[in-house]
Amino acid sequence: MKTKIYLIILLLFFAGGMVQAQVTDSLNYKFSLKEAIDYALNHQSAVLNAQIDEEIAKNDVKKTVGTGLPQVSTTFNFQDYLKVPTSLLPGEFFGQPGTQIPVKFGVKYNSSAGIELNQLLFDGTYIVGLQASKTYKELSVRTSTRTKIETVVAVTKAYYSVLVNKEQLTLIDANLVQLTKSFNDTEAMFKNGFAEKIDADRLLVLKNNLETERENATRSLSINIDLLKFQMGMPVTAALEPVDKISEVRAQPVSAVVADTSAYKARIEYSLLETQKKLNLLDVKRYKSTFLPTLKGFASATKSFQSDNFSNLYDQNYPTSVIGLTLSWNLINGGQRIYQLRNAKLVVKQTENQMQDLKNGIVNEISANQRLYANSQRSLENQERNLKLAEEILRVTRIKYEQGIGSSLEVTTAETSQKEAQNNYITALYNLLINKVDLDKATGKINY
């Protein structure tokens, strides 16, 4: 019996361990850039709220449509007159001139039940409202698209920052291996009397500085990964490892700068202004429609019940039914509609001015980003050549030093130059990737 109990406990222990392992594994993510973007579009709170706004807009459209559909309401009423109302009538009616006779009108119990139908037959503002509600829905969709684009840009930049950071660590580690070897060799030569202590001290200073730089780069990588998780809407406690390589995201050469006067059409910002202009024009139509009358139809049916005895209150009813039309027309309202209409037209003009300004701004933005991207490409190519040259100089300097025909100062200078070249290369690489994202955004290539 005890053996069975131990086996059950053991099985539960391992089962719990497996569940815990699954939970842990589920929080360990290895994402490419595309996978990181897809995750963000499904988890980032700004994107989720934008999608909720879309649903709200859809419901608003249905709500607006509903105001023009038949409206049906029912009523039920029950009254118990504890004291039936009394009125005074002239005594002449009862052969008692000069007096007033109290007479009770009504019965103790009264009840009624009715149903009423109202239907909007014509209302200019309702027709315009239907068009505006659909345009409002379109605006919410495009606003959601803009939020997604901004999220994609933020995630992409954060992802590239992590890749560049990892590339920096790779270079530092390679440099640290070589520098450690040089220090160990120089220290051994010093102990054997073939080098001075200052030679080893110089390399030790460089090695300590490089180790400090590596610690800073490691902390920076951790911060950038946390930033990436934040941009993705991922829990900060989750483990995230980007799997793309710098070599895989290096961009192709950009074409020559060409002024594209129609590029603004691909930008979501311009689409948003176009939709806003539609809403403004519909606002003009709405104010124009207020000069027209409103026509409504109605129908109602009611049954009334009266009795002095509650038990037979509903034995007999007195029905009433009616149908009719209501025409309302606001003829004079102090000129308010005229000024509302004028202001609506002015708002349309403002939106048109904003659209024209945005056109020019987008063309200028594309041109500027094309130049920045082209410059960053050339800068990266130059820094790559400088890095290779610095590495070659360091290699030759080390050989000369090991052969006794070079000084430790030359090695130290070459080490410093290589580290500077590496830093310049990392900066140029980061600028290239960020400028590529900005160029894609400016030309409207980032679209979801």
User: Could you read off the pLDDT tens digit of each residue along the chain, which spans 448 residues?
Assistant: 444 444 443 344 444 443 333 333 457 889 999 999 999 999 999 999 999 999 998 898 888 888 888 999 999 999 988 888 888 778 777 777 878 877 777 788 899 999 999 998 888 888 888 888 889 889 999 999 999 999 999 999 999 999 999 999 998 998 888 888 888 888 887 787 777 888 788 888 888 998 999 999 999 999 999 999 999 999 989 999 999 888 777 655 555 445 556 778 888 999 999 999 999 999 999 888 888 898 999 899 999 988 888 888 888 888 999 999 988 888 887 788 899 899 999 999 999 999 999 999 998 999 899 999 999 999 999 999 999 999 999 889 888 887 878 777 888 888 889 989 999 999 999 999 999 999 989 988 887 7
Around Cβ 354, how many Cβ atoms within 10 Å? 14
Token pair 């679209």 is found at 447
Q: Which of 442, 269, 249, 448 is nearest to 357 (CA)?
A: 269
Contact 141/278 with Cβ under 8 angstroms? no
Q: What is the pLDDT of residue 258?
A: 53
Q: Tokens in use for 4? A: 């069975």
Instruction: Give the contacts of 183 (CB within 8 A, at least 6 positions apart).
Output: 200, 203, 204, 207
pLDDT at 14: 42
d(CA 388, CA 169): 17
Structure tokens at 135: 């345009």
The predicted pLDDT at position 7 comes to 42
pLDDT value, residue 10 = 39
pLDDT given at position 146: 93
262 phi/psi in degrees, rounded to 5: -110, 5
> What six digits make up the tokens of 27?
């929080």
What's the rounded Cα separation, in Å, for the pair 373 and 380? Answer: 10
Beta bridge partners of 401: none
pTM: 0.79
In Å, the largest CA–CA distance within the chain is 150
pLDDT at 90: 82
Tokens describing residue 110 = 């009264």
What residues have CB less than 8 Å from 291, skipping those under 6 apart? 337
Spatial separation of the C-alpha atoms in residues 27 and 229, rounded to whole Å? 12
Sequence letter at residue 124: G
- Phi, psi angle pair for 252, to nearest 5°: -80, 155
According to DSSP, the β-strands at 318-328 and 28-31 are: unpaired
**Closest to 117 measured CA to CA, from 75, 63, 163, 177:** 75
CA distances from 312 to 77, 109, 112, 306 (A): 16, 10, 14, 9
pLDDT of residue 162: 94
Tell me which residue of 7, 4, 34 sits closest to 242, measured CA to CA: 34
- pLDDT value of residue 406: 78
- Return the bridge partners of 73, or none: 116
CB atoms within 10 A of CB 375: 13
